[in-house]
Amino acid sequence: MKHYFNFLVLSTLLFSFAYGQDEKIIVPMSEVVVTASKQIESKGNVTQKIDVVTDSALSSIVLTNNNLSEAVGMQPGNAIRPLSRNDANWGTYGGIGPKYSTYMLQGLPIDAFVDPMALDISAISRIEVQRGPASVLYPNYLSQDFAGNQSPLTGTINLILKDNFDRQQTTASTSFGSYNTINNHFFHHDNSKNVNYFVGATYEKSDYTDYGVTNSWLNMKKNPEYTKTKLFGGATVAVDEKQHFTLFVNKVFHTGDAGRVYRGFDNDYTLVNAGYSLTLSDAISLQSHFGLRQYNRSWQESNFGIIDTLKSNNGVVQNIIPVDVSLSIKHGENSLLILGTDYQHAGYSTWTDPMLGYQQFGNKSNGTQAGIYGQEEFRFSNVTLRGGLRYSYTENAIDLIDGNAPGQHSEHWNSLLWSVGVRYRLDNDFAFYTNAGNSFIAPGLKSTGGTIKLSDKGIVGKNGQLPNPNLKPESGIGVDLGTDIKVLSTVSFGLRAFMLTVNDAIIDNVVSVNPSQSQSINAGKSHSSGFEIEASQQLSSTIAWFANYTYLNTSIDNSSNVDQGGTEIPFAPANIANIGFDLSFDFGLQLHPYVNYSSDFYDSNSKSGRKAFTQGAIVNLSATQTIAKGEGYSTVLFLLVSNLTDNQYEMPWQFKNTGIGITGGLKVTL
């Protein structure tokens, strides 16, 4: 059955690439939604709640850590927390922990922890945030690093690339900021007959600052240094009115150290997206997407002393190939049937070089996932009914755990996922919606095998993930109910309630802070329920504001371990609030102040071992002043201020917010 299923999926994929991305249609930016249905739609035509972070909004957001996840940090239900400029985001999405809302690039999954660090915001035209179940049209992501596999139980975040340019344009900027940070950026786009393309590069160098708390395991003795280089480019080729090819390539080199001579790191990330779309008729279109994600991370461990010495070099290598093919069939008045198949393969290995002159494998394994899905959307005059099913096959094959042969070489799981939704429009200004769906997540390879040995628990200098080969898969269900209201055509209100339950939830517990060690465990049954309230208004062409508030009530039931039951879900605060303003002035000044507030959150579900962290309010400000502007050119001064009140709160794993950061620069567009 397994081989037949994989053969069926791969045959469909090969057929698509041999004979047949979305048809390129220009529509108003505020109305663009492709995520919920894989087709361009108005937000009012889909049952799920959709937020669109537009190109203009992206240009005014302060990315404190140059992490794209921060671009959705002001959306309801999210509490975004990159640990530093050099480390991944651990936070809350959709009202629950960090791995229940996936990230995608053009509809293909990417890693929620790594890729937002690697992608450059200038390549993105908009971000579509789907709040509500997305597990039928979109698969889990087979990331084996950090928190392991990622599921779209609470929604998905789709990064849409720039792909249509009406003229040639070149933008160059340079800036200098806190911690002697120098950032130079270049972006060029053009079109030529049937080709639209862009290329870009970013170079950033900094001596940064100590981002560890007092007596942290990081043991910084000097300012940690880093250099980041991003090279990227994309193209859309229209063969004719019915056929389109797309290609995007992103390469990142991230090197530096963690504040000591022998605590260097060297990260190399590669991301490729390719797509082909074919319009077979007015009613039928075919889309096919192929991707490559390569993550190669290495770091040093040192022996601390009067003169530090090198203890070992260590690394993680991960290669993931995602593929998706879908057929969209319009029928009836305005109904849509989507049929598709997708496939992923992930290879994952860890290594160490304990000063013996050669690398030793710790873990070596691979994962495979294949799915077939279908979704129907019936649309009537004021009602949308949606329902879909996905059948998924997942397999983990393990060659080595902790350098030894595993007790069980492979394990596989079959799952049937479903998602339904209804949207009712009373009129153009008032609508109700509700959605429900489920999820299934197999244990990740890193969670199972770890990056250090179980016998390393508590040993100073042995920093990493402890293995847990006894992990069980988890399953979840999510339900939401909401309303969208417009008043006087300028004011928008939204109210959304949700309830999430995850059985055998796999969470990462902080086991030790010095050394820094964590371990994945099955925490029992996790619950999250709450509501989101949001409002926005365009007061005039020069003044706009938004505000939102999210309340979360989370808990973990674990009857088998009294210490790990009756606690809150890690990284999920009870209260999240945001408020922001967009102000424009006739003399070319634009101001974008905004505030993010989060109440306390925890780093684990252990009553005896967990720690509470208090963020409070973070104030950011973006300011730009146009000093020259004409037909086809502009010169702009910009100032970015993060954490204006210098709130240096402690974060998990003995990290801390580094406080106020100021960056100023010049951008020229020709």
Looking at residue 120, its pLDDT comes to 96
Looking at residue 457, its pLDDT comes to 82
Is 165 within 8 Å of 189 (Cβ atoms)?
A: yes
Say yes or no to pLDDT of 24 above 70: no
Average pLDDT over residues 519-530: 85
Average pLDDT over residues 121-137: 94
Say yes or no to pLDDT of 23 above 70: no
Q: Over the stretch 296-321, which tens digit does the pLDDT of each residue have? A: 999 998 888 888 889 889 999 999 99
Query: Helix %, strand %, coil % for the chain, to 5?
Result: 10, 55, 35
Looking at residue 29, its pLDDT comes to 40
CA–CA separation, 473 vs 462, rounded Å? Answer: 27
For tokens 């990290």, name the residue.
Answer: 655
Average pLDDT over residues 113-139: 94
**In angstroms, what is the C-alpha Rg of the chain?**
24
| Superfamily holding 2-20+169-669 | TonB-dependent receptor, beta-barrel domain (2.40.170.20)
Say how many CA atoms lie within 13 Å of 359 toward its Cβ. Answer: 14
In terms of C-beta distances under 8 Å and separation of at least 24 residues, what long-range contacts does 188-194 make, across chains too? 189/162, 189/165, 190/165, 191/164, 191/165, 191/166, 191/167, 194/237, 194/238, 194/239
Looking at residue 303, its pLDDT comes to 86
Among 104, 103, 107, which residue's Cα sits nearest to residue 21? 107
Kindly give, in sequence order, each residue whose CB lies less than 8 Å from that of residue 457, ignoring residues fewer than 6 positions away. Answer: 466, 511, 512, 517
Q: Over the stretch 257-286, which tens digit does the pLDDT of each residue have? A: 999 989 999 999 999 999 999 999 999 999
User: Lowest-confidence range among 93-97, 124-128, 503-507, 643-647?
Assistant: 503-507
Among 32, 62, 58, which residue's Cα sits nearest to residue 45? 32
Kindly give, in sequence order, each residue whose CB lies less than 8 Å from that of residue 228, ignoring residues fewer than 6 positions away. Answer: 66, 202, 203, 204, 205, 252, 253, 254
Is 293 within 8 Å of 322 (Cβ atoms)?
A: yes
What band does 6 get if pLDDT is binned at 50, 70 and 90? very low
Specify the pairing of strand 155-161 against strand 169-177: unpaired
Looking at residue 340, its pLDDT comes to 97
Give me the amino acid identity at 417: L
Is 81 within 8 Å of 571 (Cβ atoms)?
A: yes
Tokens of 254: 């991230």
Among 374, 484, 458, which residue's Cα sits nearest to residue 418? 374
Among 76, 154, 158, 77, which residue's Cα sits nearest to residue 536? 76
Q: Over the stretch 441-473, which tens digit does the pLDDT of each residue have? A: 888 767 776 677 777 787 877 777 777 777 888
Looking at residue 440, its pLDDT comes to 93
Average pLDDT over residues 563-586: 92
Say yes or no to pLDDT of 26 above 50: no
Strand partners, 397: 366, 410
Q: Omega of the bond prior to 76 within 30 degrees of 0, cis?
A: no
CA–CA separation, 662 vs 660, rounded Å? Answer: 7
Looking at residue 494, its pLDDT comes to 96
Among 430, 557, 438, 561, which residue's Cα sits nearest to residue 485? 430
**Residue 66, CA distances (Å) to 86, 88, 228 in order:** 10, 11, 10
Looking at residue 476, its pLDDT comes to 92
Q: How many residues are present in the chain?
A: 670
Q: Output DSSP code: residue 37.
A: T
**419 or 396: which leads in pLDDT:** 419
Average pLDDT over residues 494-522: 83
Average pLDDT over residues 244-256: 97
Kindly give, in sequence order, each residue whose CB lies less than 8 Å from that of residue 57, ignoring residues fewer than 6 positions away. Answer: none
Looking at residue 564, its pLDDT comes to 78
HEC assignment per residue over 382-404: CEEEEEEEEEEEEEEEEEEECCE
What band does 520 get if pLDDT is binned at 50, 70 and 90? confident
HEC assignment per residue over 115-163: HHHHCCHHHEEEEEEEECCCCCCCCCECCCCCCCCECCCCEEEEEEECC
Beta strands in 260-308 (DSSP E): 264-279, 284-303
Mean pLDDT of all residues belonging to the chain:
89
**418 or 92: which leads in pLDDT:** 418
CA–CA separation, 14 vs 369, rounded Å? Answer: 17
Main-chain dihedrals φ then ψ at residue 89, nearest 5 degrees: -85, 125
Is 203 within 8 Å of 217 (Cβ atoms)?
A: no
Cα-Cα-Cα-Cα torsion 344, 463, 82, 498, nearest 10 degrees, comes to 60
| Positive or negative torsion for Cα 106, 110, 116, 119 | negative
Between CA 231 and CA 236, with CA 235 as vertex, the angle to 5 degrees is 160
CA–CA separation, 224 vs 222, rounded Å? Answer: 6
Strand partners, 400: 364
CA–CA separation, 561 vs 199, rounded Å? Answer: 54
Average pLDDT over residues 35-55: 88
Tokens of 81: 């927390």
Q: Over the stretch 224-234, which tens digit does the pLDDT of each residue have? A: 999 999 999 99
Is 47 within 8 Å of 422 (Cβ atoms)?
A: yes
Tokens of 226: 């880093």
**Residue 303, CA distances (Å) to 219, 267, 353 in order:** 11, 22, 14
CA–CA separation, 132 vs 76, rounded Å? Answer: 12
